[in-house]
Amino acid sequence: EAQVTQNPRYLITVTGKKLTVTCSQNMNHEYMSWYRQDPGLGLRQIYYSMNVEVTDKGDVPEGYKVSRKEKRNFPLILESPSPNQTSLYFCASTALANYNEQFFGPGTRLTVL
Amino acid sequence: AQSVTQPDIHITVSEGASLELRCNYSYGATPYLFWYVQSPGQGLQLLLKYFSGDTLVQGIKGFEAEFKRSQSSFNLRKPSVHWSDAAEYFCAVGPAGTGTASKLTFGTGTRLQVTL
| pLDDT for res A74 | 98
Nearest beta carbon to residue B43 from set A48, A97, A104: A104
Among A48, A90, A100, the residue with its CB nearest the CB of B43 is A90
List pLDDT tens digits, range A4-57. Answer: 999 999 999 999 999 999 999 999 999 999 999 998 898 999 999 988 999 999
DSSP code at position A73: B
Which of A63, A107, A21, A41 is CA-nearest to residue B6? A41
Q: Which has more pLDDT, A75 or B54? A: A75
pLDDT of residue B17 exceeding 90, the answer is yes
pLDDT at A102: 85
Spell out a b/e string for B39-76, using b for 16 or more CB atoms within 10 Å of the CB, else e: eeeebbebbbbbbeeeeebebeeebbbbbeeeeebbbb
Indicate the SS3 state at residue B45. Answer: strand
Taking the CA of residue A41 and the nearest CA in chain B, the distance in Å comes to: 5
Q: Check residues B73 and A98 and name the one with the higher pLDDT.
A: B73
* pLDDT for A14: 96
Residue of A91, A103, A112, A113 lying closest to A23 (CA atoms)? A91
Give CA–CA dist A15/A11, Å, rounded.
13
Q: Is A89 on the interface with B (CB under 8 A)?
A: no
